[in-house]
Structure formats: structure tokens, C-alpha cells
Amino acid sequence: MSKKYILEMFPYPSGNIHMGHVRNYVIGDICARYHKLKGDKVIHPMGWDAFGLPAENAAIQFKTHPQDWTLQNIKNMKDQLQKLDLDLDWDREIATCNEDYYKHQQELFIDLYNAGLAYKKDALVNWDPIDQTVLANEQVIDGKGWRTGAEVEKKNLSQWFFRITDYAEELLTGLDNLSLWPEKVKTMQKNWIGKSIGAEIKFEISGSTDFLNIFTTRPDTIYGATFIAVSINHKIVSSSLDKKSIKDIKNTFASISNEKEKYGIKLNVNCKHPILDKEIPVYIANFVLDTYGEGAIFGCPAHDERDFEFANKYSLPIIKVVECKDTELPYTGDGKVINSPLLNGLEKKDAIEKIVSYFKKEGIGNEKINFKLRDWGVSRQRYWGCPIPVIYYEDGSYRVLDKNELPVLLPYNVNLEGKGNALLKKEDWRKITCPKKNKIAFRETDTLDTFVDSSWYYMRFLNNKLNIPFDSKQIDNLLPVDKYIGGIEHAILHLLYSRFFMKALRDIYGFNVDEPFKQLFTQGMITHKTFKTSNNEWVMPKEVVSKNGTLIRLKTKEVIKEGPCEKMSKSKKNVIEPDEILNSYGIDATRIFMISDSPPDRELEWTEEGIQSSKNLIHRIERYFAKEKSIIQKDVEKNIEKFVNDIEKNILNFSLNKCVADIYTLFNYLEKTKSYLHDSNLSKKILTCIFPILPKLSLSINNNLFKSNNIDIWPKVNLDLIKDDKIILPIQVKGKLVTTIDTNKDYLEEEILKSIYKLDKIKKKLLDRKIIKIINVQNKIINIITN
């Protein structure tokens, strides 16, 4: 018996499930039910990603406490999910906002801290000066606070970070082993991690013993370096300009409307070229990122587009060091190195190798690998999240709590009105006496990013009652998740953070699992038609009727124009409520429609016709099994066997739309041949195979026919039975199909050719032609090649 851990990304408890959830969970449920019928030990849990900002917003808007609001939402959504009759392990349920979840997360924080993977440093946040609060990136719209409309400021705050960059290399190479992940997601993660191999080079500052570090992927172009550019936040800027000038420059940078326009200020500093006996100027440039590499570059205008543009603007020299035509400048391709005494004639790869070893020898540079990936900032200046188990003393020092001092409970009675973080204002919670040092201390008032909550929930599901975060033995036995199903929007952050957690905790606890999710499946979103009035007001589809070919709004008789199909959203009024659909069409019709009209990883367009025909199929299957038994045709068994084989293959491939086609094909056949067989093993086989997709229907028919609530286990396919001994063989002349003939499998080529030559259609084609060659792909095709 093998284990199958099937997991759908757990939802944020917003209060109501939407069609996207339904599709997500139906896909997972079909897998889970299939594997159960196969006899696998299936783990199929569900829980709630229950911390996060919307609860705080709701608190202000509806005057409810975030906890009450969240718990009520969980209750509502659980009711709705249960109406969907999903085969979930509800006894594994967790909610990240429950003490019993987040206290273990505090333990993990301590583990990470002790392993050197959690640390504090200053970082910039979005600060709303009116609300006196920190904003998430998505709350900043066009540089303004979403609620106050105030110009958002960048503020430097001391914050907690997880050292995900320690795992950058493994997070990158690990992708190669994830053969069951979509290429697209792997590419996105690869780009996000952004590994570049290059060199770090020291540039001596003229008239000083100090130097500038520069990262480059093109050390082979060092002879072409004619300037240096640094970011405005580089330390050389603060040491050579006063604060006022820096602020002015920042403002100038910010005022450049075309983001790509190059702009620079020459500093009163030069650097020595590391090889040549010359000095090159240093600029502050708006296009140099301070978060990448060393925040400084050397400009080689001949072989870099940005440097070329900059050099032209400020009339800096352009020195060609890679062979190319002048018209090709800036030339960024490969070629032989020129104008570079140490490197002339070498190809790029050899030149890089040679120059780097020269730098090493001279002590002015080294190989360097650089990543785009930054450490993960996990502090959120928010109430509704997992408290960080840290206390601060009056002298500014801090202490990470011991595990026996946990949990740090989130206080219930807080003031969410007004400005600032509610925890900061909660003096009686914040201020404590440190039991260890017996002096006054203050709790950390930041809470953890909710991505932390979702980075290990799949571990907690394995044993949600345990008094420690998880049991390492169970992790080894039951992870990785075999099939993880969810939206593509989590391609980077959630999935990368979870992979990091898996690896970090592996190294701390010593378990043998490297990756949390063996197979990842990203389902497509659900779209629906949109409608608008002539004033561009959105109209709900059910308000629209067609009258003599024009669309009008039922109530007002306004003429309506049809828009494109778009992702369901409240603002576009094209949402379909799962509750309504379940009430009108039932669970099974809803389930099967979720997988009918397009492959599960692509968009699904919601249509009335679609859901209706799903319902019709269910009636049709019911009618079929209600018919009087009839004599069984010879081929019925074979066709059913083929059905079992096909539908199984398609479930395993997530080709669920083809499963629906398999069901139609089977019932088309059975009805066409009037084969009604419902008291036999054959009908039990059919009921088993449709059970994962249509559980309610399958059970009720099973009950009617066999007075049993038990669905048979998944049948083992008899491949001999499926084999065809008669085949239809296509006959081509010169690669073009002319006709087909019915024949036995494993025919003799000579014999079959004789009968082929007798066919009129073939005779006509062969008239006045000479046969050059016969291509017989046994049992597949015969191709007659003529002159």
C-alpha cells in the first residue's frame, strides 16, 4: 500500500468560497478518491490560511474583531465546502490563527534563529504618514496609500529576515529534480533566484586607500571600461556629498518621467583602472540598482546597451574590446577580444578565465556568483498575525525567547481604531518583566508575514494534534506531498518559501526530505462573459436577455454590449455563486462541469450550456442504469475495459477533460448497442470508474442496483482484452491517404499488398506509375511510393 498525500492550497477564509476554489478542490478530490479506490493510504487535508490583512480591514469597516470575523468566515466556508461533499480529512483541519498552530510556528522561529537563519536588520517599508502605518506593496497604488491617498514614504525600520539566500544555490539546482512541476513555474523561480556567474573587481579610488567593489558578468571587457556608475544609496555617495544634495538628486531621479531614461551626476571622485594606467570618472546613475551586486558597475559602453546610452549622453569614450563592426555598437554578443593586451585574440569564455586568474594573482578581484534573490523580510507591522517571540530591553538589546517561554499569545482586547499597530498601543501586553533577567522588557510588536504560516502547514497536517510542530519520522514517511494543486499566482513566493522551509528544517531536524511538493499542478482560472451598458456600467449576465438579436437589460430595457470573457470578479459583476449552482444543478453536475470544457490547467469558461449539459449527462447515466437488462453484446466487455484503461490514464495525467470524453464515449457506445448490463460485474466496474468524478451519482445507482453503500475497488485492467485483432489500415500513395482497408492484425505484407492492388481507388492512383518503394509500418500504415 503506498501513501498518497494530495493537497490543495488552503484558502484564505474570506467568508465565501468562489468558483475558483470549487475547481481547485474538485480536481484534488478526484485524485484523492481515485487513489482511495486504488487502495492507497490517502492523506487529503484542508485548513485555513487565517491570518492576514483583510481581517483587520474588516474589523475597521464592520466593527468586528479580526478573530471573530475570521472564525465566523471559517465556519461559513467549511459549511460551503461540506456541501460540495469533498472527501477531505476534516480531523486534520488547522487554522493558522489558532494558538495551537502559531505557537509551534514560534518554536520554528526560535529554531531558525538558533540556526543562524533568522536575523535583524534595517529595511525600508512603505509608510503611510496619515494612518501612521506600514503598507503592503499591494496597498500602495500609484505611490499613494490605498485608503488615505497620502503620498507613501519609504521608512527605515529594524526588521526580521530569514536567510533564504543561504539556500539560493540549492533552491535553484533543486528545480532540476522537480520533473513533475510545470516548466513555467520552474522558469519563473529560476529567474527570481537569478544566478549570475561573474567576477568581483576592486577599483581603487584615486587619492585614497579606499576602493569600490564592482560585480560584473563581463570581466573580459575590462579594457573597455570608461566610467563607473553607482547607485544613489552607495556609501561613496554619502561620503562625498552632503545630505541636502543627495536628497536633491533623489528628487531629480524621481522626477524623470521616462523610467528608462539615463541620468547621472558626476562625482568629484575618480577611480584607477585596475589594469591600465588611467583614471575613470565616477557617476551617480539612476539606472544602477542598489539592491543588486555591489550597487556599482563599471561602464563598458561598446558592449552594453545601457552603458552605451549613458556614455553617449555624457560624451564618455567608447572603446571597442570585442571584435565587431562599428555599426553594430553596442555589441553584446560573443567574439574575439581586441584592444586588450592580456586577452587579445581570445574567445569570451577563455578571456574571462584568463582575466579572472590575473585579478586573483594581483589581488584585485575574484570569481563571484551573484543572486537576485534577497533575504526574506518577515516582519509585518500588523496585529493579526503570529507574534514574533522576541523581547527588547530598555537599552535596545533584545532576546529571542526560549521554547519554554512560549506561547506568546496574541492579545484579544486591542484597539484597532485609529493610527498605528494595535500591538504597539497595547501597553499591558507589551510591557513585561523578563523572567530571566528580572528587568523591564517590551515584546516585539511586529508579527510574521503570513507566507511563513503557509510555508510549513503541509507538515502540520500530518499530525495536527501533536504538542511539538511535527514528528520527524512522519515527515520522512509521509512527505513530500505527492500532488499539490493550486493557482499559478503562487508560482514564486509561496512555493519558494515552502521549499526554503523544507530545506532549512531538514537541516535543523535532520529529516530526509528535500522538497515539499513532488508534483505541482496549477489549475486555470474560471472566466465568464461580461456585459456593459453604453455608460460602461457592468451588468450581471443574468440581467441580460437577447431580443431580436440585440442584448437588453431586463429591468431597464437598456441596450447592452457584450464584452470579452474575463476572470470572475465582483467589480465586473460576472461572478457565479457556487451555492446557487449547487442548489440548481447539484454537486455532481457542478463537479463534472469544472473539468469538462477545457484541460484543468487552462482557463474554463463558465457557460449555461456547459453546466446544463453536465446535468443532462447525469440524467442520462441515471436513465441508462434504470433500463431493463438486455443481452450483452460481444464487444461490451472490451469497450468497458478500454474505458477503465483510458479514464485511469487520464486521471493520472490530470487530463480530466478527457475523462469526461471517456464517459461520453462509453455511454454513447452502450446506448448505441443497447447494452444494458446493470447487475453484472461490468456495471460495478463502470460505477467504480465514474465514482471519483461523480461520487453521488455512482453511490446512488450502486445503492439502487446492489443495495450496497460500497463501491468496488479500482479494477485492474486486463490488457489482453483491449487488444484489437481486427484493424482499419490506412493506405497511402506517395504519403497521401487514398483509402483504408479492414484487415486482421499482424497481416502478412505480401498478402495484404495483393488485395490492396485490387482496389479501384488504388488502381487509379497507380495507373502509368512505377512503384518505387513500399513502406509498411506494421499495423499502422502502408505507404506506396511511386515515381
- The single residue among 325, 570, 672, 758 that binds RNA, judged by CB under 7 A, is 672
Judged by CB under 7 A, the stretch of 36-44, 53-61, 210-218, 450-458 that binds RNA is 210-218
Judged by CB under 7 A, the stretch of 105-113, 126-134, 354-362, 604-612 that binds RNA is 604-612
Q: Which of residues 698-757 bind RNA (CB under 7 A)?
A: 728, 730, 732, 734-737, 740
603 binds RNA (CB under 7 A): yes
- The single residue among 33, 103, 658, 684 that binds RNA, judged by CB under 7 A, is 658
Q: Give the residue with the Cβ less far from RNA, 707 or 736.
A: 736
693 phi and psi angles, rounded to 5 deg: -90, -40
* 407: preceding bond cis by omega (within 30 degrees): yes
Q: Which of residues 297-326 bind RNA (CB under 7 A)?
A: 297, 304, 306
Which three cell numbers mark 480?
Answer: 513530500
Helix 66-83 and helix 578-596: axis angle, to 10°? Answer: 60
Q: Which residues contact 144 (CB under 8 A, 6 or more apart)?
A: 150, 151, 152
Judged by CB under 7 A, the stretch of 104-112, 121-129, 151-159, 254-262 that binds RNA is 254-262
The DSSP annotation for 290-355 comes to TTSTTSEEEE-GGG-HHHHHHHHHTT------B---GGGPSP-S---B-S-TTTTT--HHHHHHHH
Helix (H, G, I), strand (E, B) or coil at 54: helix
Nearest CA to 292 among 225, 214, 235? 214
Q: How far is the CB of 40 from RNA (least distance, A)?
A: 25
Q: Which of residues 266-295 bind RNA (CB under 7 A)?
A: 286-289, 292-293, 295
Q: Which residues contact 618 (CB under 8 A, 6 or more apart)?
A: 586, 588, 589, 592, 694, 697
Q: How far is the CB of 19 from RNA (least distance, A)?
A: 15
Q: How far is the CB of 524 from RNA (least distance, A)?
A: 8
649 binds RNA (CB under 7 A): no
| C-alpha span between 402 and 9 (Å, rounded) | 32
Secondary element (H or E) of residue 417: none
Q: How far is the CB of 126 from RNA (least distance, A)?
A: 16
Residue type, 591: R
Helix (H, G, I), strand (E, B) or coil at 55: helix
| C-alpha span between 660 and 666 (Å, rounded) | 10
Look-up of cell digits 513566493: 493
Q: Give the residue with the Cβ less far from RNA, 41 or 184.
A: 184
Q: Give the residue with the Cβ less far from RNA, 109 or 227.
A: 227
Q: Which of residues 19-78 bind RNA (CB under 7 A)?
A: none
Give 638-671 as a 3 state SS string: HHHHHHHHHHHHHHHCCCHHHHHHHHHHHHHHHH
For 694, which DSSP code? S
Q: How far is the CB of 266 from RNA (least distance, A)?
A: 17
Judged by CB under 7 A, the stretch of 212-220, 442-450, 473-481, 502-510 that binds RNA is 212-220
Judged by CB under 7 A, the stretch of 102-110, 399-407, 608-616, 749-757 that binds RNA is 608-616
Q: Give the residue with the Cβ less far from RNA, 74 or 656.
A: 656
| C-alpha span between 412 and 428 (Å, rounded) | 12
CA angle 88, 94, 100 (to 5 degrees): 155
- The single residue among 114, 550, 616, 703 that binds RNA, judged by CB under 7 A, is 616
Q: Which of residues 557-586 bind RNA (CB under 7 A)?
A: 584-585
Which three cell numbers mark 379?
Answer: 516582519
- The single residue among 2, 366, 668, 718 that binds RNA, judged by CB under 7 A, is 668
| C-alpha span between 516 and 543 (Å, rounded) | 46
Q: Give the residue with the Cβ less far from RNA, 420 or 610.
A: 610
Q: Give the residue with the Cβ less far from RNA, 602 or 754.
A: 602
- The single residue among 248, 402, 605, 635 that binds RNA, judged by CB under 7 A, is 605
Using CB under 7 A as the criterion, what x/- string covers residues 365-394 for binding RNA? -----x-x----------------------
Q: How far is the CB of 731 from RNA (least distance, A)?
A: 9
| C-alpha span between 302 and 297 (Å, rounded) | 15
- The single residue among 63, 278, 436, 780 that binds RNA, judged by CB under 7 A, is 780
Judged by CB under 7 A, the stretch of 348-356, 661-669, 675-683, 690-698 that binds RNA is 661-669
Alpha-carbon distances of 135 from 388, 422, 452, 465, 582, rounded to whole Å: 19, 14, 18, 35, 38
Q: How far is the CB of 786 from RNA (least distance, A)?
A: 10
Q: How far is the CB of 635 from RNA (least distance, A)?
A: 15
Which three cell numbers mark 565?
Answer: 470573457
Q: Which of residues 84-143 bind RNA (CB under 7 A)?
A: none
CA angle 352, 355, 356 (to 5 degrees): 80
| C-alpha span between 45 and 460 (Å, rounded) | 10
Q: Which of residues 151-190 bind RNA (CB under 7 A)?
A: 183-184, 187-188
Q: Give the residue with the Cβ less far from RNA, 278 or 734.
A: 734
Q: Give the residue with the Cβ less far from RNA, 529 or 561.
A: 529
Look-up of cell digits 437589460: 553
Judged by CB under 7 A, the stretch of 92-100, 610-618, 717-725, 748-756 that binds RNA is 610-618
Q: Which residues contact 91 (CB under 8 A, 6 or more apart)?
A: none
Q: Give the residue with the Cβ less far from RNA, 463 or 612.
A: 612
Q: Give the residue with the Cβ less far from RNA, 435 or 735.
A: 735
Number of residues interacting with RNA: please give it, by CB under 7 A.
Answer: 78
Q: How far is the CB of 694 from RNA (least distance, A)?
A: 15
| C-alpha span between 591 and 26 (Å, rounded) | 6
547 binds RNA (CB under 7 A): no
Residue 440 bridge partners (DSSP): 433
Q: How far is the CB of 759 from RNA (least distance, A)?
A: 14
503 binds RNA (CB under 7 A): no
| E strands, 474-523, in order | 481-487, 517-523
196 binds RNA (CB under 7 A): yes
Judged by CB under 7 A, the stretch of 20-28, 400-408, 707-715, 775-783 that binds RNA is 775-783
